[in-house]
Structure 1
Amino acid sequence: MRFPIKRVSAAVVLLLAVWGRPCQAESLAVTPFYTFNQSPLVQIYGLPAAESAVVQQPGKAWTLVALDVANSYLKRESARESLLVDGEGERITLALRYGVAQRGELGMDLPLVAYNGGIFDGFIEDWHEFFGLPQGQRPGAPKGQLRFEYAKDGRQRLDMDRDGIGLGDVRLNGGWQLYHDGGANPVALALRTSLKLPTGSSSRLTGSGSTDLALWLTGSSDYALPGRWGHATVFAAAGGLAMTDGQVLKQQHKNLAGFGTLGLGWSPADSFALKAQLSGHSAFFRDSAFSELSSGAMQVIFGGTVAFSPRTTLDIALSEDVTVGASPDVALHLGVGHQF
């Protein structure tokens, strides 16, 4: 089945136009998309989303239900190694953040991870053709196949071809407000941390088998634009991730990784914002001649936010791999957030 990209684009434009009316709310906060590299060999580890630079106020809560759909195809072979990543993954995340002190926040992420042959192979070929992007090996590849495998020196180190859904690795989160200038859309800086627990299955690639600790800074600065042009926001994040050995490509897995995000958003109305961000991280694996394993990844993520009410928002985004093969070719992100 082939997805007509022009119809998909028209539907997105229509949705944004319908919800682009003022919702009589305070200025819409522009925050990073709550997503990260959805490669099946990366999303199982504790790589975090950048998150907002503003933590929740005491007694206030924010919830998010996010859906990430990522379609990957990568085939590499050499005299010593072979790698095949062919399939589609869905990650559903229920996130909660709660203000527990004047500057403190606690939270939890509960993910469900599914894999299957997918339906987006044709859509991605249309997407690449429409924008003149390289197709790689996709046109000649089987459609609707699920197969993740890696072999080195005659030894099979990864082999997963079973579809299904399962609990992913639960994350416990914390945040501390380092600076806030008091504005509605402020200049702000927060220190955030995340502890990922090995609650998923490493054999089904819903978890890594490792316990991971992430620590990062996230900041944002908002600027009022002249006339009726609304406001613009610049946001950024940078940090590090420490991981135990885990069970996925254990002999080649690295225990330390760095990551970062840089983005820009523009909100011309109280109910609508356009956003784009560049997110990257260092390599999660070593001892491979394939750059898709032993080099870092970079993604561009673009889309927007619509506000259904002063407290409820919807993020819609697409991501494209900048470093080809190290992240999915195309990924869709939807996130419904609500403030209590």
Structure 2
Amino acid sequence: MRDRLHVTTVARILTVATIAYAPCSLAADAAPWLLYRDANPFVAASGLPFAPPVAAEGWSVEALVDASNTEVAFERGGERLTYDAEIHAARIAVTRAFGPHWLVRATLAELDIGSGFLDGFLEDYHRMFGFSNGDRGRLVTDGHTIRYDDGNVANTVAFDRRLHALSPLLVDLAFRGDASERAEWMAGATVKVPTSHASALVDDRSTDLSLWLALQSTDAQARWPWGARVGLMQRGNTQLLADRANDQVPFADAMIGYRLTPHWDVAAQLQWHAALYDSRVPLLQDAATLALSSAWHADAGWTFRAGLVEDAIPRHAQDVTFFLALSL
């Protein structure tokens, strides 16, 4: 019954998005930002913003599915963390442009935490590139285990089950203006609204506010589209590792693309954030992710993008994430 409820919820979200798409228009010349942020559940349960919203006029819709797989264990002083799980996400973002300057975006996802199906493939993937931390099955867990202990009962995390749940709702409000004939600046705020009591690893129950500034290219003929952003997240009263939570978290994003043809591009997106927790465990410290992708832009106005995300600072973020995205 619980699974059916969440499937129904996602179906309703997709239905609303489809209706919203009817009058939509996507900026073919927009910087190719990827709807992504650090998928580490100790981060994703917070209000850390996704990449900046993009819309030319009217409505735009983005849908993304991804699978993140990680198996790590740490023991640092009195802290112990075991993380062996695969997280699947089906995410939808609906953006509305009001005139030439204002943008509003709402982002929501359905999450599935379990053992997944990528372990064998990722072992081969890591060995192909000579990476030493790719072996799976070393931790002797059931494949959906996330545990943290520092001797403080209030900070203990003991997650050992499959879970389907809604992610927090993130709402972006942005104002943009021309920086030059080929670029625009954007000033925005992102609010995280709690949606789920399923687990603090899905939603830490805080209400977070982020303020940010972005600069990005808008030239439709640019061979090298680009974008950059800096910001600060003010966290609310989190229920996840509350005694170790940092109140303020700076973050920065950068993106660059290359148009191979009028219809085909490749892009790289680097995202960094400071530590959300006062901890000696790498996975709870500052982190950076690097997304590499390629996209096809159809004459009808939609864009299909596929790629992967790696932890740019090893063992500080999710190990590997694969994704497929559709923009309308």
The TM-score with structure 1 as length reference comes to: 0.82
1:6-17 aligned within 5 A: none
SS in 2 for 1:62: strand
Counterpart Cα distance in 2 of 1:160 and 1:146: 8
2:310 paired residue number: 320
Task: Tell me if 1:232 matches 2:193.
Answer: no
- CA-CA distance at 1:261 after TM superposition: 1.3
Structure 1 portions without partners, runs of 5+: 1-24
Does the C-alpha gap of structure 1 residues 79 and 257 become closer, same or farther in structure 2, counting only changes over 3 Å? closer
Does the C-alpha gap of structure 1 residues 223 and 172 become closer, same or farther in structure 2, counting only changes over 3 Å? closer
Query: Partner amino acid for 2:170?
Result: R
SS in 1 for 2:283: helix
Counterpart Cα distance in 2 of 1:223 and 1:55: 14
1:37 paired residue number: 38
Of 120, 123, 126, the match for 1:122: 120
2:17 paired residue number: none
The 8 Å contact of residues 183 and 219 in structure 2, kept in 1 or not, is answered as: no
The 8 Å contact of residues 30 and 220 in structure 2, kept in 1 or not, is answered as: no
- Which piece of structure 1 moves more, 302-311 or 259-268? 302-311
Counterpart Cα distance in 1 of 2:29 and 2:220: 12
Counterpart Cα distance in 2 of 1:142 and 1:231: 49
The 8 Å contact of residues 171 and 190 in structure 2, kept in 1 or not, is answered as: yes
1:162-173 aligned within 5 A: 162-173=161-172
- Which piece of structure 1 moves more, 111-120 or 128-137? 128-137
1:286-305 aligned within 5 A: 286=278, 288-293=279-284, 295-305=285-295
The 8 Å contact of residues 280 and 297 in structure 1, kept in 2 or not, is answered as: yes
The 8 Å contact of residues 210 and 247 in structure 1, kept in 2 or not, is answered as: yes
The 8 Å contact of residues 265 and 276 in structure 1, kept in 2 or not, is answered as: yes
Task: Tell me if 1:268 matches 2:260.
Answer: yes
SS in 2 for 1:309: coil
1:239-258 aligned within 5 A: 239-258=231-250
Query: Partner amino acid for 2:306?
Result: I
Q: Give the RMSD, CA atoms, in angstroms.
A: 2.4
1:177 paired residue number: 176
1:1-340 aligned within 5 A: 28-52=29-53, 55-57=55-57, 60-78=58-76, 80-135=78-133, 138=136, 140-142=138-140, 145-153=143-151, 155=153, 157-179=156-178, 181=180, 186-201=182-197, 203=199, 205-221=201-217, 231-286=223-278, 288-293=279-284, 295-338=285-328
The TM-score with structure 2 as length reference comes to: 0.85
Counterpart Cα distance in 1 of 2:150 and 2:202: 23
SS in 2 for 1:264: strand
SS in 2 for 1:125: helix
Query: Partner amino acid for 2:143?
Result: Q
2:14 paired residue number: none
- CA-CA distance at 1:136 after TM superposition: 5.9
Counterpart Cα distance in 2 of 1:107 and 1:26: 15
- CA-CA distance at 1:210 after TM superposition: 0.5
The 8 Å contact of residues 28 and 272 in structure 1, kept in 2 or not, is answered as: no
The 8 Å contact of residues 64 and 337 in structure 1, kept in 2 or not, is answered as: yes
- CA-CA distance at 1:107 after TM superposition: 2.2
- CA-CA distance at 1:201 after TM superposition: 2.5
> 1:198-224 CA deviation, whole Å, 9 max, x = no partner?
112362622111001111122223679
Structure 2 portions without partners, runs of 5+: 1-25
Does the C-alpha gap of structure 1 residues 209 and 264 become closer, same or farther in structure 2, counting only changes over 3 Å? same
Counterpart Cα distance in 1 of 2:92 and 2:215: 23
The 8 Å contact of residues 71 and 329 in structure 1, kept in 2 or not, is answered as: yes
How many residue pairs were aligned? Answer: 302
SS in 1 for 2:224: strand
Does the C-alpha gap of structure 1 residues 93 and 136 become closer, same or farther in structure 2, counting only changes over 3 Å? closer
- CA-CA distance at 1:56 after TM superposition: 3.9
